[in-house]
Amino acid sequence: MVDIVLIILGGLLLLVGVIGAVIPVLPGPPIGYIGLLLLHFTERFQLSSTYLIVIAVFVVIVTVLDYVLPVWGAKKFGGTKAGVRGSTIGLIVGFFFGPLGMIFGPFVGAYIGDMSAGRTSSQALRSAMGSFVAFLLSTGLKLIISGVMLYKYSVILIKAL
């Protein structure tokens, strides 16, 4: 009976993990990883330690990149130090405004930062676009790792039936 509860709860956490990969407020990959750990603690669905460690490393990397990539994108697309700082501030402030704030916060922050540094509107927009493209990249990475974990759960569940 406990195994069934863990399997269902693990599956739900993996689904929330996939949703959290798209909705910035939820830490999708870490939530999905907890779902995998719940599966590991069942009698029938134990995962290998190597698999769990490898997935944990990827979850940590993707989670860190989720916060670093928007700032890197602003810088890579020609943002000034003020634009990079603006992107960082926009990410932090955007966090308090929910999913849309976290999506558009770095974009707006990079734009305002570069404009305050005396850049033209088109230069500031390019930096802001870099921040936004990097955000989309980090979302894609979160979706990939969350999808891999959900796939593993599905394979294990199908084998058990």
> Is the distance from CB of 127 to CB of 73 less than 8 angstroms?
no
Instruction: Output the pLDDT for position 86.
Output: 87
**Structure confidence by residue, pLDDT tens digits, 12-29:** 999 999 999 988 778 999
Length of the chain: 161
Number of Cβ within 10 Å of residue 5's Cβ equals 11
* Other beta carbons within 10 Å of 101: 19
d(CA 32, CA 160) in angstroms, rounded, equals 20
Which among 136, 137, 114 has a CA at the least distance from the CA of 125? 114
pLDDT reported for residue 96: 87
Q: What is the pTM of this model?
A: 0.80
